[in-house]
Amino acid sequence: MRKRVVITGLGVCAPNALDIASFSRALDARQSGIEFQPVLEELKFGCQIAGKPKLTEEHINSYFTSLEQRGLKATGLLYGVMAGSDAWKNAGLQPTGENDTDWDSGVIFGTGILGIDKLREAIYLIDEGNTKRLGSTSVIQTMASGISAYLGGMLGCGNQVTTNSSACTTGTEGILMAYDRIKSGKAERILTGSCSDSGPYVWGGFDAMRILPRNFNDAPELGSRPMSATAAGFVPGSGAGALVLESLESALNRNATIYAEVLGGNINSGGQRNGGTMTAPNSLAVQRCIQDAIKDSHISATDIDAINGHLTATAKDPVEIENWKIALGRDTDEFPYINSFKGIIGHCLAAAGSIECIGSVLQISNGLIYGNANCEDLHPDISRWVDPSRVPLNTIAKAPEVIAKASFGFGDVNACVIFKRFNK
């Protein structure tokens, strides 16, 4: 029999909040973390707005010593360590002693690009013949697995410590990887999450593709418009989210707080066939991913109370809603409530799935369904599939029992996870 898996810890470093309590309030109030970025104007970007965590020197000092900060330029590593250590602490767990290893705990923490600013610095130093000035942390800051290695060593984890990378699907995929390892009995708890660097060297490629909005530089908070008729592209974001997944037996033995249960999920790819490309999903693959996630969770489509979609504020939003409609087979007026947090945090790329999964879990834990920002003008094609009342503009005091969260990434890759309110 497979073990039941629950969520016992949460940590976040988001554009609009640096801790779980603040993030919960920000989601409730639709508080935006998207701002004008002067550096993007200086570099002549078309889109000059973005979401990035607002870290202060005092905040950084509470996580890193002055020695650890020396030469530290990998913003994704900063965000990931903050979110990961907060989640571990939130779960009531502590790092092991100097001579102890926790063989039952592991880390699966993903990223897309890590330490690109450090890598840029390193390239210039090497080209100038100044290799000795690279410093001792250049490798850990620029290797993809630097984030999981850092967290694993900080906590003393002796189980699997690894990094996954699947574009925008990374965070949601990591949760399912952790879920699979725990349910099979190979680990008792896994710290899972994902992070994404900030800055022009991460966002520049998307600006060049002209898939970012260019008409909201004077009104940043209005720029990210998931499901809106006036959506003009996704607003780039960054940050990190982290969750502690744990076997139910371990959680109960520790008398841990349980935020929600992970019922199951699915990961697949459309193979970049049948309409799927490097940048667009194969609709059949999306539908199969959702349906197989439901099957794996041993529930029916009618059990789903709410959906937190990928919904990036592009022309693909109506297509995603149509895929949900086909996959669930639910009538328009019986469609689950649906929302996207990207209206207030932007699209946090590799960090998107983990941050948005945390928001989904908070909806279950807090007994709320959060509203959608900048969606007053619902796209008419979406209203064909969903009654507008199922796309709330403000928080609804309705306790969801089951939430489906999906992420769809570059490369035609998909992940869908099912969360449920915990009941013994």
- The 10s digit of each residue's pLDDT in 217-256 is 999 999 999 999 999 999 999 999 999 999 999 999 999 9
Reported pTM: 0.98
368-420 pLDDT, tens per residue? Answer: 999 999 999 999 999 999 999 999 999 999 999 999 999 999 999 999 999 99
CB 350 within 8 A of CB 165: yes
Q: Tell me the DSSP string of 253-276.
A: HHT----EEEEEEEEEE-TT-TT-
Pairing of strands 49-51, 161-162: unpaired
Q: What is the token pair recorded at 95? A: 């790092």
CA-wise closest residue to 193 among 296, 82, 343 = 82
Instruction: List the structure tokens of 162.
Output: 């690894």
**Domains along the sequence of the chain with CATH:** 5-260 (3.40.47.10), 264-420 (3.40.47.10)
Output the CA angle 111-112-115, nearest 5 degrees: 80
Extract long-range pairs of 117-122: CB within 8 Å, 24+ residues apart: 117/73, 117/74, 117/75, 117/197, 117/199, 117/201, 118/71, 118/73, 118/74, 118/142, 120/201, 121/73
Minimum mean pLDDT range among 130-139, 225-234, 327-336, 345-354:
130-139
382 in helix, strand or coil? helix
